[in-house]
Chains A and B, each alone.
Chain A
Amino acid sequence: MSRAKTLQSLFKRYRRPGDIVFAWIALLASVFLLSQLADQTAWRNGGKLFAQPRFWPAVSLGGMTLFAALHLVGSALSERIEGRWHEVWLWVTSLEYAGWFIAYAVAVPYAGYLPSTVLFAIALTLRAGYRRASTLIAAAVAAVVIVLLFKTMLKVNLPSGLIYESLPDGLRQIMLTYF
């Protein structure tokens, strides 16, 4: 009995709520990817095993499945921690911010880098729960500084907005180049 218990405690790990959900998802994903091995990779007749294009995907996915299974066993043998679904819900809510990020990326080529950055900075600050005018102004100023730093000074590769095309001649050129 004691030995079985020790084996059990070998697998028991310090965890947080929701660990078992992650363990299941990881295992299912690994098994799915591994099942696609023959379909998604090629085997060259006559080539050495280690040089096959299939070799590394097979090794890594095999390893992934093994470790995912062990992780799941470890998770299942440990005591349950309260708050599992609460935690999973938090993961889901993070998708909202992923959405904000993608929306921002969609907006930049149309609205221009400067306007969309200022707009998103203020909107996101509001969304994050800040209402004080000083915080909102700080967000706007920070957005302008980011634009000045990266687009105007470091000239990183970002598209100029379609909206700038409708500006008067002199201003348009400046906006297209620097903002």
Chain B
Amino acid sequence: MENLIAGLEMLARWDVMLALLVGSIGGVVIGAIPGVGPAVAIAILLPATFSLDPIVGLTMLLGIYGSSMYGGAIPAVLINTPGTAVNALTSYDGYPMTERGEAHRAVSLAYSASFWGGIFGILCLILLSPVLALIAPMFGSREIFLAAFLGILLVILAHRGQIFAAGLLAMFGIFLQTVGLDAVTYTQRYTFGYSFLSSGVNLIVVVLGLFALSQAFFLLTAPDNSPDAKPVTGRMGAGIKELLRHKRVATVASGFGVILGMIPGTGEFTAQFMSYTYAQKTSKNPDQFGKGSPEGLIASEAANNAVPAAAMIPLLALGIPGEALTAMMLSVFYVHNVIPGPQLFQNNIDLVYGLYFALIALNVIVMVFLLFSTNLLTRVIRVPTRFLGVMILLLSFVGVYSLRNSLTDCMIASAFGVLGLILKRLNLPIVPIILGMVLGGIMEVKLRSALPRLKTPLDMIDRPIAAILFALIVLVLALHLRTLVREWRAHQPTDDHDLHDSQMR
């Protein structure tokens, strides 16, 4: 109880409140603009938050993360272009509703469903935290190693249809983090004699290149475009009433969001697709799906908004990020010497509760903000894309250069920017590189520290959690093999789709 109050006290500071306000409203605006997403914004702001208090910096980034999907629903519904990649399914049913002249209904439903999902996710997080505090200390080096390995495996296998590319990029990420001076043996690894490589390839420089600069290059090399969104009229509160008629869909979708959000490497996409499929299968009007079904809209929005809170679970409890945005947040923790993991729940539980409350507050702020300002945002959507590219380029500079005033960093970031552009143009995923870097580093450290206590390889899995994780790894591989065999037998592989199109803008 006193920890709860301490957590509340953490938020009751003007700078934290300001960060929350800036983060959540900024997140909505950024989410609403097709072409910039939370990843770009977080990457750019990351170095700026290093000088702030951990709770201030984290609430700001959390604000952007948690609120961008609210904003992303607006262009998805109004102009059939998802504002962030995870709003893809929202456009399936949202846009047909707009075409029918029900834009107002669609937008307000999307907000309400998002709010439902967001709050549901946080409640799960709060209810789960006593359990987490109990289980997390049972994670030693070998368990964390296995969990990180599972994360890598899932991130590769989750990219169905692009598994080879995802594997290639995840391995590239793991390789990148090995470059430089090895921390234990003090030997050089892949530095090719260059001194700037001795300190390794900085994660933030890579993130800024792959997410922010690549997006600038992407927009600048493509033809100019200015999306046209029509203003929406009507009261925004109406969606809440309609949502209450579909409580079951909203809750199950949020549940999918929470479960898949907790599992590293899966995240919003899978959650959205699964809850959408569920909603369609159990609906009374399955034919309406894709033609403007309110249930479809609710399923996808509730699912994707339940993910941010759930994604905090592996991050806070184990120090294992499940996707790119939490991987970026991990570096904020590290900079402030707050190491997420089992100890966090024992030593800094007030920070954990502070973050929970911040999440609740941000959902309320965003909801209130959106009820009044949707039409303002429809104007923001119209920013021409190349102009946006220029702005992202200028902002990326702040991110890269403020890190350590290094021109070399700028060049490395540019190189990764070009790589990111190529990947985006080819519709290949970027996230595996980032997760490879972060999880690869965790795997290397944890495997090393687990070694002295291992006499035979079997010792690796002789503890209950480790055994469960190992079983999960085997299960995931077996399930994947089964799907492959089925596809082979059916003589008809599933068609690949644009699921990962412009992932994590």
A173 within 8 A of B: no
| Bound Cα distance A48, B168 (Å) | 27
- Mask: chain A, 92-111; 1 = CB below 8 Å from B; 0 = not: 01110110111011101100
Stretch at the interface among B103-111, B294-302, B397-405: B397-405
Give the chain A neighbours of B178 by CB distance below 8 A: 56-57, 60
- Mask: chain A, 51-74; 1 = CB below 8 Å from B; 0 = not: 101001101110110111011001
A42 with B185: CB separation less than 8 A? yes
A166 within 8 A of B: no
Stretch at the interface among B127-135, B239-247, B333-341, B444-452: B444-452
Give 11 pairs: A residue, B residue, CB < 8 Å, sorted on A.
A13-B162, A14-B497, A18-B425, A22-B426, A56-B444, A59-B174, A64-B168, A68-B164, A97-B220, A128-B387, A130-B384
Closest to A156 in B: B402
B47 with A156: CB separation less than 8 A? yes
- Choice from B175, B428, B484 contacting A57 with Cβ under 8 Å: B175
A90 with B221: CB separation less than 8 A? yes
A105 with B168: CB separation less than 8 A? no
Give the chain B neighbours of A120 by CB distance below 8 A: 394
Stretch at the interface among B35-43, B63-71, B252-260, B415-423: B415-423
B48 with A154: CB separation less than 8 A? yes
B398 with A135: CB separation less than 8 A? no
Closest to B495 in A: A14
A121 within 8 A of B: yes
The 7 closest A-B pairs by CB, nearest first: A14-B496, A42-B187, A67-B167, A63-B171, A67-B168, A60-B175, A98-B414
Give the chain A neighbours of B171 by CB distance below 8 A: 60-61, 63-64, 67
Give the chain A neighbours of B168 by CB distance below 8 A: 26, 30, 64, 67-68, 71
| Bound Cα distance A78, B373 (Å) | 48
Give the chain A neighbours of B443 by CB distance below 8 A: 56
Knowing A13-B496, A60-B172, A71-B168, say if A94 contacts B217 (CB, 8 Å): yes
Band of interface residues on A? 35 or more
A41-B188, A57-B190 known; 17 new pairs, CB 8 Å cut-off, are A9-B493, A15-B426, A15-B427, A33-B175, A40-B188, A42-B188, A51-B448, A53-B189, A60-B178, A64-B172, A67-B164, A101-B393, A108-B401, A109-B405, A125-B387, A129-B224, A157-B403
- Choice from B51, B224, B488, B498 contacting A10 with Cβ under 8 Å: B488
Give the chain A neighbours of B53 by CB distance below 8 A: none
A167 within 8 A of B: no
Closest to B220 in A: A97
A95 with B493: CB separation less than 8 A? no
B216 within 8 A of A: yes
Main secondary structure of the interface of B (DSSP, over half): helix
Give the chain A neighbours of B47 by CB distance below 8 A: 156-157
| Bound Cα distance A5, B202 (Å) | 45
A101 with B182: CB separation less than 8 A? no
| Bound Cα distance A19, B386 (Å) | 25
Band of interface residues on B? 35 or more
B386 with A129: CB separation less than 8 A? yes
A114 within 8 A of B: no
B397 with A128: CB separation less than 8 A? no
Give the chain B neighbours of A68 by CB distance below 8 A: 164, 168
Give the chain A neighbours of B213 by CB distance below 8 A: 98, 101
A94 with B188: CB separation less than 8 A? no
B418 with A95: CB separation less than 8 A? yes
B479 within 8 A of A: no
B425 with A121: CB separation less than 8 A? no
| Bound Cα distance A116, B381 (Å) | 28
A31 within 8 A of B: no
Closest to B489 in A: A6
A156 with B48: CB separation less than 8 A? yes
Closest to A87 in B: B425
A57 with B189: CB separation less than 8 A? yes
Give the chain B neighbours of A22 by CB distance below 8 A: 422, 426, 428
Knowing A146-B394, A150-B48, say if A94 contacts B221 (CB, 8 Å): yes
B216 with A97: CB separation less than 8 A? yes
Knowing A64-B175, A71-B168, A142-B391, say if A91 contacts B418 (CB, 8 Å): yes
Closest to A68 in B: B168
B398 with A158: CB separation less than 8 A? yes
Closest to B449 in A: A51
- Choice from B165, B410, B495 contacting A101 with Cβ under 8 Å: B410
Give the chain A neighbours of B402 by CB distance below 8 A: 150, 156-158
| Bound Cα distance A97, B428 (Å) | 21
A97 with B393: CB separation less than 8 A? yes
Closest Cβ–Cβ distance, residue A161 to chain B (whole Å): 13
B297-314 contacts to A, CB under 8 A, are none
A51 with B451: CB separation less than 8 A? yes
| Bound Cα distance A15, B500 (Å) | 12
Give the chain B neighbours of A6 by CB distance below 8 A: 488, 491, 493
A33 with B190: CB separation less than 8 A? yes
B468 within 8 A of A: no
Closest Cβ–Cβ distance, residue B82 to chain A (whole Å): 19
B487 within 8 A of A: yes
Closest to A30 in B: B168
Knowing A60-B171, A63-B171, say if A14 contacts B448 (CB, 8 Å): no
Closest to A36 in B: B190
B394 with A40: CB separation less than 8 A? no
- Choice from A10, A41, A143, A155 contacting B189 with Cβ under 8 Å: A41
Closest Cβ–Cβ distance, residue A90 to chain B (whole Å): 6
Give the chain A neighbours of B174 by CB distance below 8 A: 56, 59-60, 63
B458-505 contacts to A, CB under 8 A, are 484, 487-488, 491, 493, 495-498
Give the chain B neighbours of A70 by CB distance below 8 A: 164, 167
B390 with A124: CB separation less than 8 A? yes
